[in-house]
Each structure stands twice: as C-alpha cells, then as structure tokens.
Amino acid sequence: MVVYFSVAGRCPVPPEIHRTEGVFMTQIDTVAAAPPAAFVLTEAEYRQTSEIADRLARAEPGRTDDQQWLAAVRDASVELPTRLLVELRRFRRDAGPDAVLLIRNLPVSPAYGSRELPRTPTQPGSVERIATTAAAIITAAMLQLGEVVAFRNEKTGALVQNVVPVPGQETLQSNAGSVLLEMHNENAFHPNRPDYVGLLCVREDPTGQARLCTASVRRALPLLSAQARQVLSGERFLTEAPPSFEALESVVPAHAVLQGAGEDPDILVDFSATHPLDDEARVAMAELRDALVQVSSALALRAGDLAIVDNRLAVHGRTPFTPRYDGTDRWLHRVYASLDHRRSRPVRRDGGSVLG
C-alpha cells in the first residue's frame, strides 16, 4: 500500500503521478520547501503605482490589444517605483535559484468610479480586452522584462488573459480546470514559447485551496543522477501540442528536456504532454519529476500578488481546489513576455504582438 501526504509549502502530487510504464515512484513529503522571497511595495510605492495604473486604465483607446495603448504602457512603465524597477531588472539579468519573482501589494481594484471588482468570469476562453487597473499593472511590469506576446490559437490571441475555473472543465489539464494541474513549462511545445509568465492575482481563492506550484531546475539538478542528466540532455522526448495548435502537431521535433549549459541548463517539459521515446528516457523523466516535487513551493496568491516565472528555468502548476461558480472564485490575469521579440517576427502579422 502506498502512503502519501503533503505539507503546506510544497506542491502535492498524488502517487499515480509517479506511475509511468514500467516505473513506479512514491513521494512522501516531510519538509516544506521554502517559498521564494517576496518583494513588497511600501504604501508610498503602492500609491505611486496605483496612480500610474489608473491613468493607463483611462488612456485611449483603452483596449489592451491595441498597439497605441501598449506604447503608452511601455512608456509609463519606467515611472514605476525605483525599487520595483531594480528588482525587475535584476530578475531579468538572473532569475536566481528559484526562478520566480513574487511581488506583493500591487493595486488591482479600480480607483475611479466603483471600487468594486466585477464578478469572477466563468465563460470559456475569458480575456481582458478593456484596459483596467489590474491589466495595466501586469502589462507594465512584464514590459520591463521583454515584449508582451500572445498566441492566436490561445484565447483568441488576447495579451491579457484570465485564469479562472470554468464550469464543465474541472478535469481539464488547463488553466480552466480545478484538478491538480501538472507541472509544465508554458507552451512547451512551441518554438517561440514565452521567456516569462506573469500571474497577477485579482481575487484570491476564497477556499484557500488553490496554490501556485513552482519548481526550479536549478534546485532540482543536484538531486539528479549523472545517468538521468545525460539522458535528459538527449533529444529523446516529444511534447504534444494541444488541439488548438493543430498546425504544429505534425512538425514538433524531438527535443532534450535539459538544454544549454550542462552545469546550469534550461528545462523544457510538460508532464501532461511530454512523452519519453524509450525506456531510459522514461526512467530519467520520472526521476526528474520526483526531484522537482522535492524542491517545489506552493504559493497561496493573495489579491495584489504578481508571480513572475522564468519559463526557461522553472516549471509551474496548481494544486486542486473546489470552485464555487458564484462570482467569488480565484481570478488571475496572465501575461507572457519574450526577450527576443525579433526572433518571432516571421509569425507575427504586421509586426504586432500576436504569434500565429
């Protein structure tokens, strides 16, 4: 009989997660992984940031996908508090051992008109097309890391996307589900996947169950055997594209899970979509998963928290939770940023921000 339990601070993984063809691994958590240190805005910095965001929320043309609005946000992003700008630039230079930056006490509620947030959306593919305080905040922060991008095949190419539970999609391995979301690199299947993923909490989970799980390859690497490192560094894995990216399904090549410098590699994996091509690769992938679980952190995001994940060095997922569908459920904004905007120019129509 397999015994499994988890403690606060680490992403729980049920035993069946560790069962692969011919491999069975158990995970019993005994020590909570320390969460990444948080950068907290002072009250003065909060007011300064709020003034910038509220001004941008009213700026013409008021649409988050419009290049004119993006230009206004890009220009205004340099007005963010100096301490915050320094923290963002340091993270861009080196994401550190956890490869996650947690910023707290950001404004997300409108400062003009009604101060009440609308109900948490429940419709599939929910996005933010109209500029708001929260949309301006996350876009400004991400523009200090790179250029914001989106994918035409994902949520109709919206630059600011909602991460909310959707009725009827509870069991999906997607941002609309509420079951355990497997650890993954964002859009691991895509040649132009984002370098950074920003997740801004607009409304926290009222049940307290939902937690953002993150794990860094820098933390996990010392736990891997030399054999596993060697196998994971070979092109012995395939990552399946979702149905919405059907054009990529026949062209995604085999790839390595550990890429780049052997002593400090990038990671490329989605544990719900990456398939090992041989038995050695299967065993090595299971060992990697186990190592990532051991070093993972589980963050309960509060309203005003922005978690930025370096998508090259860290994987992320989410603990299971029970949605209410009453307008009070967990609500995040998601924005991607890419460092090398020029690289994706061939697939960005008219030089815009949407790929595909």
Residue 23 in any domain: the answer is no
In whole angstroms, what is the distance from residue 317 CA to residue 274 CA? 15
The phi, psi pair for 279, rounded to 5°, reads: -65, -40
In whole angstroms, what is the distance from residue 57 CA to residue 303 CA? 18
CA-CA-CA-CA dihedral for 95, 100, 105, 110, to nearest 10: 100
- Confirm if 205 and 329 have CB atoms less than 8 A apart: yes
227's CB contacts (< 8 A; 6+ apart) are 284
Residue 29 in any domain: the answer is no
Considering Cα of 158, then 160, then 165, then 167, what sign does the dihedral take?
A: negative
Residue 131 in any domain: the answer is yes
| pTM of the entire predicted model | 0.91
Residue 195 in any domain: the answer is yes
Residues of the chain with pLDDT under 70: 1-10, 12-34, 111-115, 244, 246-251
Q: State the pLDDT at residue 169.
A: 85
Q: State the pLDDT at residue 263.
A: 98
60's CB contacts (< 8 A; 6+ apart) are 68, 69
Residue 321 in any domain: the answer is yes
Q: State the pLDDT at residue 172.
A: 87
- Confirm if 308 and 176 have CB atoms less than 8 A apart: no
Residue 96 in any domain: the answer is yes
Residue 154, token pair as written in the block? 């994902």
* Total domains present in the chain: 1
The helix/strand/coil state of 53 is: helix
Q: State the pLDDT at residue 34.
A: 66
Residue 186 in any domain: the answer is yes
Residue 136, token pair as written in the block? 């301006």
In whole angstroms, what is the distance from residue 7 CA to residue 298 CA? 10
In whole angstroms, what is the distance from residue 332 CA to residue 120 CA? 9
Task: Give ∠ CA 238-12-314 in degrees, rounded to 5.
Answer: 50
Q: State the pLDDT at residue 174.
A: 86
- Confirm if 277 and 13 have CB atoms less than 8 A apart: no
CATH number, position 256: 3.60.130.10
Q: State the pLDDT at residue 130.
A: 96
In whole angstroms, what is the distance from residue 95 CA to residue 313 CA? 8
- The number of angstroms, rounded, from the C-alpha of 34 to the middle of its chain's C-alpha atoms is 19
Nearest alpha-carbon partner for 122 in 153, 151, 163, 161: 163
In whole angstroms, what is the distance from residue 239 CA to residue 248 CA? 11
What b/e string do you get for 338-353 counting C-beta neighbours within 10 Å, with b at 16 or more?
beeeeebeeebeeeeb
- Residue 286 is part of which domain span? 45-115+126-355
Residue 4 in any domain: the answer is no
DSSP letters along 278-310, please? SHHHHHHHHHHHHHHHHH-EEE---TT-EEEEE
